Structure 1
């Protein structure tokens, strides 16, 4: 039997922890608060619309006459009364009793309707019957309860339990506590109703929050990456609403928390164990719009700040962005080198005062995958790996085209970018499985667009970091200006 993919094993082994529940509650706190308050308000409003009901109760004592005062006879009479009470309770709201009550009080109702407002109960092994009635008129509620008690006693004693002849009935029913006019309504119980409404709203909100958590397959934090792959999270890049205005944050604002995120990523990347001395990395993502190009550019600048010789290659021959972000001319670049039109040394452009060199994509070819998978591409990367400490290749999304997978065969490995709130777990899993299927090495995942507040916030967003060693990168070179030759002709 074929074993499940590694990512599937990871999902099977993953356990739900307390922090997962806390994260769900934190993420949905507005929903929880809103529905809880709404539930309480709805219950309060519903209670105000209800007609107040008043409840009055009378208590009746049932006994059995005895001609002897012996203990045995008294005990037998008491046991008989206890047994008879069970049947007498059912007689309280019977038509034979309620017809008399209706006639006595001149009520405009039927026995069936009146019976709905009457309740007779008796505790176990007791000879006391409690008769309760509810009505919107407190005085009428007390009158009905007393009338039911009086007429019930008369029906039982003088009709149902009357012996033949003129002998008196052995059963006696006496009122031991008459019904009094109630001063406060028994319903609606506003505090109780509000509490039920609050709890109902909270339960509904928890259900919706749980359903949203189950149906939401997007990655929100580095923790969510664990359900898609067992590869480490190399770094988290905080969200910058103005990223489109200043994509090169490491150069534009070195002390920005987001810039520090890239330096953290740089540090983690320096400790990656690669085969041999070559550090050629393909940077891709599962889908578009996840920040791979800006991540590649800022990482290249951060690496160059340390004095390393860095080459940034725009391997996205379909929708290139590197030349635009770096502010250089991109009409001549990788495609020209691969078809032999331009030497590699002539196509590379130095950026700023750092040891950073850019190889734009060049003209858009009709066959990007074939060019990236050619021997010319392999020779070009080998030449750059020998001349630079780091070679970063910005590549198209893995699930859209095969370009990144093809070029990854010539590199040390792949760095996969996943955007918080955009990338979906199944897509990230599919990208990982695609790389594993062709034998490419995935070093880890870079999570971008992490919020600086909320349950999925990233640590660097909580403070402003300013290091004494931070220096602003030099200004980019002029458009189209050739670099000083770091490599021989490829």
Structure 2
């Protein structure tokens, strides 16, 4: 992923990241409050040797003490030293338990031993540190050899720093705990956000489509929560941004398959509920508003929707023509004031794929192309059934609908593979249900930068001077 991908993830999941950070900070605060404060006090002991005073003896003595300091540091936490401390201070602890609260260290290349004691009672911490240093001095004199002549100890431990009573606890370190909690929560939030984005295979933006396929994106339809209430937005609210999206798509169609004489398209998707039927209907209306003679065919012979959307009689339609029960001119119904005509699906047959792939259907497609400027076939999704792939091969062009936030990347690949398998050309991709807010927000004029046409803003229908001219007479001259 690129830097902009991570920025988009942060923008998209900022609430999750902030929530986890606050939870971690709260947990660190509660942990600090519930933790018993502990205090630390340190005493310091100097190790020296008895010598005759010559230079050679002084050098040897210094080297000896430095070498012995590490040994004495280990002795400081043994029962030899700690049992007298427990007896003197009357501590209710064993030597092993007391040793857990004592830290003995020696600065490198020195003859100094630091004895640090942590305890919940600050005065007791100081008393233990001083007692350990005194007991260590006594214990070392007992185990070290004495001078053969004078009988004096060869090594002497002198306390050079008395442990004082600490005024502030060393733990819990509340600022440090809160800072660490914030860092952990922030890292956890970012990690979960990135992992969720990595595992999420849904297509959410144009860039996801571009990473999946090289097909051109010819339009984007913004999400409308009231789409079920007003599916024909171009007719119901022609000045809305969503209606403008369909007019932009209409304009972009003139750049598709310019070498094709027939302007017929199959509108399909990979799975259901991606908005293909509403896209087909609104596109057909916008084409008719631009002056084209348009036929909208409901070729979804399994779950037809066009008749309901267009509010027409759908009892007789395409299936009746295919089986010879009706003539085309008897079942095609005009719609609206323009030159839009609708052919409903008719009765649902038991063999939709066979009917759509029949020679009779090929003849009907030729008849449609000869009569109308643009023919839009609303077809079922590609992955569940093969109807759309079969019809797209005969029609010669397919428009693939991809719903943002719903369609999986592998589903889009599967739909493309289904069309490629039968040799059906794909004219382009139309994204639907695009969000209008957030990091993946879409502006309906966005696709104009790719040279597919112009956008006009929220000012009603596009001017006629830029509307695509689909008249068959104009194409024949060209």
CA contact (8 A) 1:238 1:451 kept: yes
* Alignment correspondent of 2:326: 342
C-alpha distance in structure 1 between counterparts of 2:434 and 2:461, whole Å: 26
What TM-score does the superposition give when structure 1 sets the normalisation length?
0.89
For 2:181 and 2:292, the matched residues in 1 are separated by: 64
1:42 aligns with 2:34: no
**Alpha-carbon separation, structure 2, partners of 1:265 and 1:355:** 19
Residue in structure 1 matched with residue 268 of structure 2 by the alignment: 284
Kindly state the Cα deviation for residue 66 of structure 1 after the two structures are TM-superposed: 2.1
Q: Give the 3-state SS of the residue equivalent to 1:459 in structure 2.
A: coil
Q: Is the Cα contact below 8 Å between 1:275 and 1:412 reproduced in 2?
A: no
What secondary structure does 2:444 align onto? helix
Partner of 1:425: 409
For residue 161 of structure 2, what is the aligned residue in structure 1? 177
* Cα root mean square deviation, aligned: 2.0
- What is the count of residue pairs matched by the alignment? 456
Distance 1:433 1:469, change over 3 A: closer
- After superposition, residues 157-306 of structure 1 pair within 5 angstroms as 157-163=141-147, 167-306=151-290
Report the equivalent of 1:62.
47
Per the TM alignment, residue 27 of structure 1 is displaced from its structure 2 partner at its CA by 2.2
| Contact 1:332–1:347, Cα closer than 8 Å, also in 2 | yes
Q: Which moved more, 1:20-29 or 1:58-67?
A: 20-29
Determine if the alignment matches structure 1 residue 452 to structure 2 residue 436: yes
Summarize deviations over 1:291-346 as a string: whole Å, max 9, x none: 11001111111222221221111000111111111111112221122222322222
Residue aligning to 2:299: 315
Partners of 2:322 and 2:259 in 1: how far apart?
A: 25
Shift of 1:166: 5.4
With over 3 angstroms needed to count, the CA separation of the structure-2 counterparts of 1:461 and 1:281, relative to structure 1, is: closer
In the alignment, which residue of structure 2 is the partner of 1:25?
10
* Residues 247 and 462, structure 2, Cα contact 8 Å, conserved in 1: no
Assess if the C-alpha contact under 8 Å between 2:234 and 2:286 holds in 1: yes
Contact between 2:293 and 2:339, CA under 8 Å: does it hold in 1? yes
8 Å CA contact retained: 1:334, 1:360:
yes
Question: What does residue 106 of structure 2 align with?
Answer: 122
Unaligned runs of 5+ in 1: 1-15, 472-490
- The 3-state SS of whatever aligns with 2:211 is coil
- 252-261 vs 126-135, which moves further: 252-261
CA pair 165-104 structure 1, distance change in 2 beyond 3 A? farther
SS of residue in 2 equivalent to 1:197:
helix
- TM score, norm. by length of structure 2: 0.91
In the alignment, is the contact (CA less than 8 A) between 2:6 and 2:194 conserved in 1?
no
Query: Given that residues 257 and 464 in structure 1 are in contact (C-alpha distance below 8 angstroms), is that contact kept between their aligned partners in structure 2?
Result: no
String of CA shifts for 1:186-233, please: whole Å, max 9, x gaps: 001111111222222222223322332232221111211133322122
Could you say which residue in structure 2 is the equivalent of 1:100?
84
CA contact (8 A) 2:293 2:373 kept: yes
**CA–CA distance in 2 between the matches of 1:69 and 1:267?**
105
Q: Secondary structure at the match of 2:212?
A: coil
Cα displacement (A) at 1:468: 6.0
Q: Which of 452, 456, 465 is the equivalent residue of 2:457?
A: 465
Residue 240 of structure 2 contacts residue 460 of structure 2 at CA under 8 Å; is this kept in 1?
no
1:145 aligned partner: 129
Provide the C-alpha distance between the structure 1 equivalents of 2:202 and 2:269, rounded to a whole number of angstroms.
14
> Tell me, which stretches of 5 or more residues in structure 2 are unaligned?
447-454, 464-478
Displacement of 1:285? 0.7
